[in-house]
Structure formats: C-alpha cells, structure tokens
C-alpha cells in the first residue's frame, strides 16, 4: 500500500476532487471567478498615496493567485519550487 503526503493528489482522487475538476472547467464557474475578481478590485479603497496603491496591488495579486490555485486545484504540480533569491532576479 502506497500512502502519499501529496494533499493535491489525495484530493484529486476523491469524489470531491472529481466534482471540483468538472466544475472548474465550466464556463459558469470561470465567469463567476472573473466576476468575483472584478468585484474585489472595485471594492479596494481609492489609493491616496503610494503605500495604499502598493497594498492594493499586493491584494490584487494575492486574489489572482488564489483564483489560479482554485482553477488548478486538482492538477498535478509541474512548476518547480521557487528559488529563494527569485525576488532578486531582475532578468525574469
């Protein structure tokens, strides 16, 4: 018996994972996520300074990352782990 610590693999193999895959590929689900992202952006405070503008951008990037995770929740991880110095690489 093989026991995996891969949480995505375990979820993907459950009934819920199969239902999730079916739902995430539908037009209604994807349009709902796009609408939620637009609503999220419209509810951010109007930036009055560079700090607020930066915070809004970071929040938006976080929301977009969450959507990417949701859409690919049952997909196998193929991306390599990020390098620790990735934020210092100006060529990427």
Rounded to whole angstroms, how far apart are CA atoms 68 and 86? 20
Rounded to whole angstroms, how far apart are CA atoms 16 and 63? 23
Domain ranges of the chain: 12-73
> So what's the pLDDT on residue 5?
76
> So what's the pLDDT on residue 76?
82
Q: Is the pLDDT of residue 1 over 80?
A: no
The DSSP line for 40-54 is HHHTSPPP-SHHHHH
Q: What is the pLDDT of residues 59-83, one digit of tens each?
A: 999 999 999 999 998 988 766 666 6
Give the other-Cβ count within 10 Å of 36's Cβ.
14
Question: Please, are residues 12 and 74 in contact by the beta-carbon 8 Å criterion?
Answer: yes
Q: Is the pLDDT of residue 25 over 80?
A: yes
Q: What is the mean pLDDT of residues 49-63?
A: 95
> So what's the pLDDT on residue 62?
95
Model confidence, pTM: 0.72
């Amino acid at each position: 018996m093989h026991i995996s610590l891969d949480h995505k693999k375990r979820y993907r193999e459950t009934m819920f994972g199969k239902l999730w895959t079916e739902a995430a590929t539908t037009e209604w689900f994807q349009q709902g996520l796009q609408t939620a992202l637009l609503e999220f952006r419209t509810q951010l405070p109007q930036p009055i300074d560079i700090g607020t503008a930066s915070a809004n951008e970071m929040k938006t990037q976080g929301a977009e990352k969450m959507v990417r995770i949701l859409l690919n929740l049952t997909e196998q991880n193929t991306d390599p782990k990020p390098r620790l110095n990735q934020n210092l690489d100006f060529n990427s």
